[in-house]
Amino acid sequence: MMQQFYPTVTHPYQFELHKDMHLATAHYIDNERAGNCARVHGHTYVINITIAGNELDETGFLINFKHLKEAVHGRFDHTLLNDDPLFAQTPPSTEKVAETIYTIVNDLLTPLAHKPVCIQVIVRETPTSYVVYQPKQVQS
Ligand SMILES: Nc1nc2c(c(=O)[nH]1)N=C([C@H](O)[C@H](O)COP(=O)(O)OP(=O)(O)OP(=O)(O)O)CN2
Ligand SMILES: [Zn+2]
């Protein structure tokens, strides 16, 4: 599903889970330096979320794949990203979309007693352009 490859993260955890999803979404970058991107346009974003951990919950899951899709796809699919309050103070660039998805997923995981963590989010905006976001604590 992801074009080309998955950048890998070196980590100490025993389990690593990947969730891929597509987001059909519009955006614009409200800055004259953004050129054509200052006009509203659409992308089929390709998202990869990586979760890791040493323990599973009572269902044997690190995190239910469906819960990741609901939190991200459910919020952004078929929307204008600029309308979302999460992008009220920041442009929905590929970089900020990746960081924002990380924050949403991290908020989903933080209450869980078995302590899964999000270690990477990849956002592919076009066939030729993508961003990898890693939280500081897993960067090597
Ligand atoms: N660092 C960033 N640069 C650009 C972003 C971004 O989010 N971060 N976004 C855009 C535009 O939104 C545009 O949709 C994508 O740009 P680009 O990859 O240049 O699109 P093309 O399909 O035209 O790429 P080609 O490889 O030239 O076909 C711009 N820059
Ligand atoms: Zn764009």
pLDDT one-digit tens code per residue, 9-24: 999 999 999 999 999 9
Q: Compute, in angstroms, the gap from residue 58 CA to the centroid of ligand 2.
A: 41
**What does each C-alpha distance from 70 to 9, 10, 21, 59 come to in angstroms?**
24, 27, 10, 18
pLDDT value at residue 140: 45
One of 11, 18, 22, 37 is an active-site residue; which one?
A: 37
Q: 22 labelled as ligand-binding? A: no
pLDDT value at residue 6: 76
User: In sequence order, what E strands does 28-93 have?
Assistant: 41-53
Write the ipTM: 0.93
CATH number for 15-138: choose from 3.30.479.10, 3.40.50.620, 3.30.565.10, 3.10.450.350: 3.30.479.10
Q: Is 70 a catalytic residue?
A: no
Q: What angle do CA 78, 84, 85 make, to 5 degrees?
A: 165
Q: 18 labelled as ligand-binding? A: no
pLDDT tens track for 80-137: 999 999 999 999 999 999 999 999 999 999 999 999 999 999 999 999 999 999 999 7
DSSP 8-state assignment for residue 7 = P
Q: What is the residue extent of each domain of the chain?
A: 15-138
Q: Is 11 a catalytic residue?
A: no
The ligand whose atoms approach the alpha carbon of 126 most closely is 1
Q: 11 labelled as ligand-binding? A: no
DSSP 8-state assignment for residue 80 = B
pLDDT value at residue 3: 61
For the beta sheet containing 41-53, the strands, ordered from the edge strand earlier in sequence to the opposite edge, are: 15-27, 41-53, 117-126, 129-133
- The DSSP code sequence of 3-53 is SS-PPP---S-SEEEEEEEEEEEEE---SGGGGGGGS-EEEEEEEEEEEEE
Would you mind telling me the total number of residues written for the chain in this entry? Answer: 140
pTM of the model: 0.94
Residues touching ligand 1 (Cβ under 6 Å) are: 37, 93-95, 125-126, 128-129
